[in-house]
Amino acid sequence: MAHSTVPATAATPAITPLSLKEIAPWAVFTALLALILLYFVGAEQGAVSLVAGETVHEWVHDGRHLLGFPCH
């Protein structure tokens, strides 16, 4: 049985650097999403609550303790 070989002259892909203008919108979006998540996990209860009731508190309760936020 004959063995097939790959030619040794395979072209390597060129790596193009990303500019700051390409990364900035994604960085801002990620930071905003992280801040919103941090608010809901860390501060969404009591006097600063944006959502009435205990629903959000119960959804993020374990994450709150995991990150070291006191809640009761």
- Please tell me what DSSP assigns to residue 45: S
Cβ 40 vs Cβ 56: under 8 Å: yes
Average pLDDT over residues 54-60: 77
Distance separating alpha carbons of residues 67 and 4, to the nearest angstrom: 55
pTM: 0.58
| Average of per-residue pLDDT values in the chain | 80
Q: What is the pLDDT of residue 3?
A: 67
- The pLDDT of residue 21 is 92
Angle, alpha carbons 52-28-21 (nearest 5°): 160
- 6 confidence band (pLDDT: 50, 70, 90): low
